[in-house]
A and B are shown apart, each in its own frame.
Chain A
Amino acid sequence: GENVEQHPSTLSVQEGDSAVIKCTYSDSASNYFPWYKQELGKGPQLIIDIRSNVGEKKDQRIAVTLNKTAKHFSLHITETQPEDSAVYFCAASFSGGYQKVTFGTGTKLQVIP
């Protein structure tokens, strides 16, 4: 089955700096790659996703890149703010979230004011 590895497990940045989280996946059939943000005491929430037919997607301060050849994808957060502090999960699946999704182990991001 699919295996998703995520690094780093913890990340501290100064407010205003950028943060990058990297993931690799094993199953070349995977073609949907969502990123979820989990705030303390809450369930994960989708913040951005990318499908295999594109290499990059942006939404305001958040961007994701995908390299299907190398089987890795990354989350980039620019101009970080204290409210970005949370745990971030990458994931991979075949076809979409309605199918089984394999999650990475999570990255705890701390933005220091």
Chain B
Amino acid sequence: KAGVTQTPRYLIKTRGQQVTLSCSPISGHRSVSWYQQTPGQGLQFLFEYFSETQRNKGNFPGRFSGRQFSNSRSEMNVSTLELGDSALYLCASSLELASNTQYFGPGTRLTVL
């Protein structure tokens, strides 16, 4: 069974632009979560989606948003990019909302210049 896939793997943007990252969960998995990984802050939870609804949200500004489609694929969007948004963005999928075991994709490396 294919794992979690994320596209693109690498992105370079400039300050003020917006960006959309995509995540396809493992087949049959219905819950998708997003995490940001930076050297300074480590791994931080962004949000979780299940049945096209945001179920849980981390402590990030409103510039960070996401959505989930009926096929469980998810996208996250960051508007008005700042230098501090440079990070590895990881997507994780799990079977159900409360299945407690998440499987991660390879991540999207975003660089903001």
Q: Do A and B come from one complex?
A: no
